[in-house]
Amino acid sequence: MKRLLLPFFCFILLVNCSKDSSGIDDEFLDVQDDESITDPSPESTIDPSDIPNDIWWNDEVFYEIFVRSFNDSDGNGIGDIQGIIDKLDYLNDGNPATTTDLGITGLWLMPIFPSPSYHGYDVTDYRDINSDYGTLEDFRRLLTEAHSRGIKVIIDFVGNHTSDQHQWFTQSASGQSKRDWYLWEQNNPNFNGPWGQTVWHQRNNAYYYGLFWGGMPDLNFHNDEVTQEIKDISQFWAEIGVDGFRIDAVKHWVEEGSNQENTQSTLDWWRDYYAFQKSLNPSFMTVGEVWTSTQNILPYSDKRLDYCFEFDLASSIINSINSQTAAALKQKVNQVTSNYNFAQYGTFLANHDQNRVFNQLGGSIARAKLAASILLSLPGVPYLYYGEEIGMVGEKPDENIRLPMQWDTTPNGGFTTGTPWRPLNANAMDFNVEGMQADENSLWNHYRHWIDLRKTNPALTQGQYKGLGASVNSIFAFLRHDTTAGQIVMILHNLSSQNQTRFAVNSISSEIPSGVYTLVDIQNDTNLGSLTIQANGGFSTQDLNISIAPYASIALKLQVQ
């Protein structure tokens, strides 16, 4: 993988860890957020300290795939599991010396179970594969091929609700059996959902609860039989060999009357499930979709799931780039890093439920590159949504943000030899893998480089975060320091559309040992000057003439003189 070009990327200091400092002008010190959020709810009977765990995901970069739209292997216009196998070398060929693969080390597959819908979030059989995508044998082969390349595989687990065509529900609705596997009332309870939507739906002279719509009836987790069935299904997939689950709609799992999200019953259920999951395999990972504020996500990350996606942080990254100011992003990162267990949250820019990040950033390649740099330099477990690396576009409705992958300039963008299930984006001829791989300055190569940079610098995966002050409000500056590896990384991002010169960043204290260091361009080993670190690790770059291009960064390493 090629190194970063100076005008594009981040300022990085690689040094040994130690000490603190004082005596530096603090007029532009970083905004601090000391808010501490704790779970006020009572604990369940399970002692979290007794639950084993094997944390491997901090070292990974995940890639989210909508199987229907990624690659079609048989020409029927629908992406499939064999299509993913055929493109594994694109994702990671298993050889660190090559530069033609993206370098991701984890896959998240959106729902692969049988379903009557195109998206698969209404399941009809939890122990099989959607026939549009292939067979269980195909999936087992995908696991084998991915694991041989060092790629972990997690699957979307949709357990809050089923399809109304699932046999459990048809039996429940007819009164044959499993009546209390779902929530039924003889009379309409007449309360709506958290977004004002209808949640009670009529069937056979009674009403059943379905949070999202009538075709997705919610399971009744007050029923121990339902819980046991979900545990059995989890064990089935763990034995198949998946590395974990992305779990849908976590906060809605157990209702308490009209209280439909973040209930104590939900928190208790997940604590019990976590203990069960880890009893199967301490390495089995769960990442939750808890689409809410940081404060409400935190309890789910406390031995209930391994971690959850940080939606507020994703919005903060996008909004800070569009506003060209770093203050709100600094506050959000400080809050996140101060309250979660170290790096135990999923970071991302956009996913399958949101407008494509390229649209959110106004179709700007420069802004998209900067967003990628920020994502891949922050703590947390980063996720890319397929096509993000080539600037795919799409705005709701949902089908338009899940369109076929753009591989090349051949008919149908190389996605299929047949008629695609949905037409490709209008920008497919200009924004595709083949073209961007050939351009060393492309968005694709930018992502590839940053993934490599993250993998080859332990401070970017294991290093603690410390915000830095900046004399310009468009500079987002922070340290990542890993004392075990003896490495500190200092990163500066220019969020502005203007070239930034003669700015400074500082810290009144840090973990950097005192001394004089040479700043060296990480790309070409050019000496860019000296930096003095004071007794307690304090420093300021105000005497250095560092220039950063619009929406870009600089990468430097610090060498002891």
Give the catalytic positions in this structure. Answer: 248, 289
The answer to whether 512 and 537 have CB atoms below 8 angstroms apart is yes
- The CA distance from 132 to 509, in Å, is 57
What does the longest C-alpha to C-alpha distance in the chain come to? 82
Strand pairing class (505-507; 500-501): unpaired
Q: How many C-beta neighbours within 10 Å does residue 481 have?
A: 24
The answer to whether 407 and 414 have CB atoms below 8 angstroms apart is yes
Q: Show Cβ contacts of residue 239 under 8 Å, excluding neighbours closer than 6 positions.
A: none
> In what helix (H) or strand (E) does residue 308 lie, and over which residues does it extend?
strand 307-308
Residue with tokens 């590395």: 243
DSSP state of 398: G
- The CA distance from 535 to 415, in Å, is 58
CA 484 to chain centre: 25
DSSP for 419-484, please give it.
Answer: --SSPPPTTTTTS-HHHHHT-TTSHHHHHHHHHHHHHH-THHHH-EEEE-EESSTTEEEEEEEETT
- The CA distance from 369 to 270, in Å, is 37
Burial class (CB in 10 A: 0-12, 13-18, 19+), 443: buried
Q: Where are the alpha helices (DSSP H) in 281-353?
A: 294-297, 311-323, 327-339
Strand pairing class (244-247; 152-157): parallel
Phi, psi of 549 (to 5 degrees): -70, 165
Q: Where are the alpha helices (DSSP H) in 5-160?
A: 67-70, 81-86, 88-91, 136-148
Phi, psi of 491 (to 5 degrees): -120, 135
- The CA distance from 316 to 331, in Å, is 9
CA 431 to chain centre: 23
- The CA distance from 154 to 161, in Å, is 19
The answer to whether 479 and 510 have CB atoms below 8 angstroms apart is yes
The answer to whether 544 and 57 have CB atoms below 8 angstroms apart is no
Strands (E), 192-233: 200-203, 206-209
The answer to whether 391 and 427 have CB atoms below 8 angstroms apart is yes
- The CA distance from 193 to 157, in Å, is 22
- The CA distance from 384 to 305, in Å, is 21
Strand partners, 506: 469, 540
